[in-house]
Chains A and B, each alone.
Chain A
């Protein structure tokens, strides 16, 4: 079945460092891909999304590109801030499933130190 694998955490970075969180997926067809973020004490929020191959999702300085050839959707940010400390989840919905059922990766905890 469909699945998502992301790099294990926790990841600890200094402020202004470059961030990459790897995410790869297995799915039939062409799923939609998402990054969700969970800030301490808050619910899940959509960070960015991409619905077809070569799409780049971006938000709040974060970017991820839908790479069909490598089945990847790695999250990047050029300069992290302390406020980016959170748990990041990569997820997919199968093609044709309009945002309903989500399959999540295991989550990566990011801690940014001043």
Chain B
């Protein structure tokens, strides 16, 4: 198993600003994943972050809007840039176990 810590747990931000979310894992992992959970909706994968290479983004998500860093095997950040109210969501960090995935508690973002 893996223990994942995410910061901040919640934030309220002004539109047009950016927020960086941090994800720390208690063990070294090759891949980390970032998901978005919009209000009342399911989780959608934003991107996969590999250490030492560019993140791989899913359809509908772009690096300019969601830049990701992966400086080492236990840490990653996701930035939500130039925010609008439509970015209000829960953002979750995840790592893969042998079969299942483990998740952080999420960052609840409200853009006003």
Give A residues with C-beta under 8 Å from B: 32, 34, 36, 42-46, 49, 51, 89, 93, 98-107
Q: Which of B13-30 contact A (CB under 8 A)?
A: none
Q: Which residues of B contact A45 (CB under 8 A)?
A: 103
Number of chain B interface residues as a range: 20 to 34
| Interface CB pairs A-B, < 8 A, 14 | A43-B4, A43-B103, A43-B104, A43-B106, A44-B43, A44-B106, A46-B101, A46-B102, A49-B99, A93-B101, A98-B98, A101-B33, A103-B45, A107-B42
CA distance A113 to B33 in the complex (A): 35
Smallest beta-carbon distance B40→chain A, Å: 8
A89 touching B97 by the CB < 8 A rule?
A: no
Give B residues with C-beta under 8 Å from A: 4, 31, 33, 35, 41-45, 48, 92, 94, 96-106
Question: Are A98 and B99 CB-contacts (below 8 A) given A89-B43, A106-B41?
Answer: yes
Interface SS, B side: strand
CA distance A112 to B1 in the complex (A): 29
Q: Which residues of A contact B41 (CB under 8 A)?
A: 106-107
CA distance A10 to B96 in the complex (A): 29
Q: Which residues of B contact A44 (CB under 8 A)?
A: 43, 92, 103, 106
The 5 closest A-B CB pairs, nearest first, are A43-B105, A99-B96, A44-B103, A100-B96, A106-B42
